[in-house]
Amino acid sequence: MEIIIQSDAVAASRASARLVARLVREKPNAVLGLATGSTPLMLYKEMIRLHKEEGLDFSRVATFNLDEYIGLEKDHPQSYYTFMWENLFSQINIKPENVHLPDGMAKDVPASCAAYEQAIIAAGGIDLQVLGIGSDGHIGFNEPTSSFASRTRIKTLTQQTVQDNARFFDGDESKVPHHCITMGIGTIMDARMNLMLAFGAGKAGAVAATVEGPVCAMMPASILQHHPVAKVFIDEAAATALQLSDYYRWIYAGKPEWQRDA
Ligand code: PGA
């Protein structure tokens, strides 16, 4: 894994956006895996800026989101569909037909999940997957003890995740759906590059366990230790529990400029 520690979340988001931009310039029909939550918001702002000010072209890009709540209509204010259109898609030149999210209203959930996996394969696989991390180490909604071999499927959120996400539902936990559809850990591991973002002291424990702890289903993100190209962009606060933070800084400081965005 490559650990990139930046002074704050804005700097880390900008650094991660440079990787996205490089990929899209080199491969205009790139397939991006996208995430929701507060963490990727600054990355999406920077992608929008790159589009508007530097002409970054998303017209041939396809996207697949990690997850969606079950039981929320697409136009529900807290659906991830709404989140993505409000925070990214409406402000770049992506084609609506190239945008994919799991269908939280599917009548046949297993069939819909299988179709999602097929659609990813048909698009050529995910080139770059953006990930946040839950305070319990989840990626997508793959909560602790999720199988490392899992594919897109229904999951039940932990009570901790329901509590964490209540802030988006007027602080009312009873409004947070308890079920979701999420890409599996196996699906995430198939992406050619994984780009994880984590900011703030609340993520420091999960980041340290992911990067320096044992690979363990209790810490789903730790599977990224087995991914050949996993990059972790964090701010100082999220880096505080890392034993080898000085080493990661030393590695990054010694990289030639051209290699930083590779
Ligand atoms: P957050 O969520 O970005 O809102 O902290 C991350 C996650 O749950 O994966």
pLDDT beyond 80 at 260: no
The answer, yes or no, to whether any atom of ligand 1 lies below 6 A from the CB of 42, is no
Under 8 Å between Cβ of 28 and 60: yes
What is the whole-number distance in angstroms between the Cα of residue 248 and the centre of ligand 1?
23
State residue 217's pLDDT score: 98
Among the atoms of ligand 1, which is closest to the Cα of residue 199?
5
| Confidence (pLDDT) at 140 | 97
pLDDT in tens, 215-233: 999 999 999 999 999 999 9
Question: From atom 2 of ligand 1, which residue's Cα is the shortest distance away?
Answer: 37
Ligand 1 and 37: CB distance under 6 A: yes
Q: Does ligand 1 lie within 6 Å of residue 38's CB atom?
A: yes
Task: Read off the pTM.
Answer: 0.96
Q: Which atom of ligand 1 is nearest to the CA of 197?
A: 3
Q: Which residues are catalytic?
A: 67, 136, 138, 143
- Domains belonging to the chain, first-starting first, are 2-252 (3.40.50.1360)
* pLDDT one-digit tens code per residue, 68-126: 999 999 999 999 999 999 999 999 999 999 999 999 999 999 999 999 999 999 999 99
Give me ligand 1 centre to Cα 200, in Å. Answer: 11
- Looking at residue 198, its pLDDT comes to 98
